[in-house]
Amino acid sequence: MTRNPSIVILTGAGISAESGLSTFRDPGGLWTRVDWRDVATPEGYARDPGAVHDFYNLRRKVVLAAEPNAAHRALARLQARYAGGVVIVTQNVDDLHEKAGSREVIHMHGAHGRALCAACGYRWPAPEVMTPEDPCPACVRSATRPDVVWFGETPYHLPEIQAAVAACRLFVSIGTSGTVQPAAGLVRRAAAAGARTLELNLEPSARAHVFDEARHGPATRIVPDWVEELLSAASF
Instruction: Centre a 10 Å sphere on the Cβ of residue 4 and count the other Cβ atoms it contains.
Output: 13
Instruction: Measure the CA dihedral 137/142/148/153, to 10°.
Output: -120
Distances (CA, A) of 227 to 24, 67, 172, 192: 26, 20, 11, 24
Q: How far apart are CA 15 and CA 51, in angstroms?
A: 28
Within the chain, strands assigned E span 7-11, 86-90, 105-107, 110-117, 123-125, 144-148, 170-174, 196-201, 213-216
Single-letter residue type at 180:
V
Distances (CA, A) of 60 to 51, 138, 142, 148, 173: 14, 23, 20, 12, 25
Q: Which residues are catalytic?
A: 109
